Amino acid sequence: MKFFVSAALLIMTFSVGNLAAQQRVDPAEMFDKVFPLLGNWGVNYGPEGQDRGNCGGWKGDAGEPLQNCPIPADQLPLNERGIAWMKFQDHLLSPGLNDCAPGVIPSLLGDNGRWFLSGQTEAVVINYADGPGWIRYIWMDGRGHPRAEELFQHGHSIGHWEGDDLIAETTNFTFDPEGIDDHLHMASSVLKKVTERYHLMDENTMRIIITINDPIFLTKPFKYALIVYKRPGGMQPGWWQCDPQASREETEGGYPGRKYKDNK
């Protein structure tokens, strides 16, 4: 029995020591890597920017064509369950429109607001201050993801560098009725994994290559890209506040022709 306890303590000490060594990050290296990416970024939509509006011909509650999808929805490899979801979905399932929940990855990446990228010694930090009011930490200190049963609306993000490219991997999501895209209203499951590659094309232009893997709703991983541009001026985070009751009433009033009627 003594031997077992001693061996267990030895293994525990060794593991903790390895973890501490793994998590030591060179602050100078983090600064050098993050500094070129530092600043306000956002997608440029419009005639001279990126296309926004390809919602794959899917329709909303009242039969209206869905619009402003930053994801190329006509290429999204939905399986039969995903197609069934798109026929079932309605606006009142939206956690953001109705219940003040900030959008999630990957929807936020294609939002038309600004986001501010900065860093700490152990993490890349992104402040999505134009609307959702969410601060995201991409942990760069060698830690892994939590256990599979630990779930978060925004998932858990870890990252590493491949050359000068930032690679972020996010898992441990909760089920989300709009977890693949909030304009398309396409859901994602707890098995969703999102991988992002941030590649600086020049000092003011960055390509984000996004891969979504969700075997519950997709037949295969789906990869697409966004081009984001550095926005002038400093970040103005301010504050964000939402009243769930007012938000839900506004949504209900805006979609009187919705397919599912709630009993009052």
| Number of domains into which the chain is organized | 1
Say how far apart CA 142 and CA 121 lie, in whole Å: 12
Q: Examine residue 185 and state whether it is found in any structural domain, yes or no.
A: yes
Q: Examine residue 28 and state whether it is found in any structural domain, yes or no.
A: no
> Going residue by residue through the chain (264 aa), what tens digit of pLDDT does each one get?
443 333 333 333 333 333 333 455 678 888 999 999 999 998 877 655 566 668 999 988 778 888 888 899 999 999 999 999 999 988 878 877 666 777 899 988 888 778 899 999 999 999 987 666 789 999 999 999 999 999 999 999 999 999 999 999 999 999 999 999 988 999 999 999 999 999 999 999 999 999 999 999 999 999 999 999 998 766 555 556 777 777 777 777 777 767 777 655
Q: Which residue has the tokens 């600064």?
A: 31
What are 193's two structure tokens? 């994994």
Q: Examine residue 20 and state whether it is found in any structural domain, yes or no.
A: no
Burial class (CB in 10 A: 0-12, 13-18, 19+), 93: middle
Phi first, then psi, for residue 94 (nearest 5°) are -70, 115
The answer to whether the CB of 38 falls within 8 A of the CB of 118 is yes
Q: Examine residue 68 and state whether it is found in any structural domain, yes or no.
A: yes
CA-angle at 154, arms to 18 and 128, nearest 5°: 105
Q: Examine residue 2 and state whether it is found in any structural domain, yes or no.
A: no
**pLDDT score, position 209:** 98
**pLDDT score, position 50:** 63
Q: Examine residue 108 and state whether it is found in any structural domain, yes or no.
A: yes
How many other C-beta atoms lie within 10 A of the C-beta of residue 83?
Answer: 12
Q: Examine residue 145 and state whether it is found in any structural domain, yes or no.
A: yes
Say how far apart CA 212 and CA 92 lie, in whole Å: 24
- Distances 45 to 102, 110, 114, 131, 227 between C-alpha atoms, Å: 21, 10, 12, 17, 10
What are 81's two structure tokens? 């369950």
Give the range of the structural domain holding residue 160, as residue numbers without chain letter.
35-254
Q: Which of 107, 116, 130, 125 is nearest to 41 (CA)?
A: 116
Q: Which of 44, 176, 64, 66 is nearest to 110 (CA)?
A: 44
Q: Examine residue 3 and state whether it is found in any structural domain, yes or no.
A: no
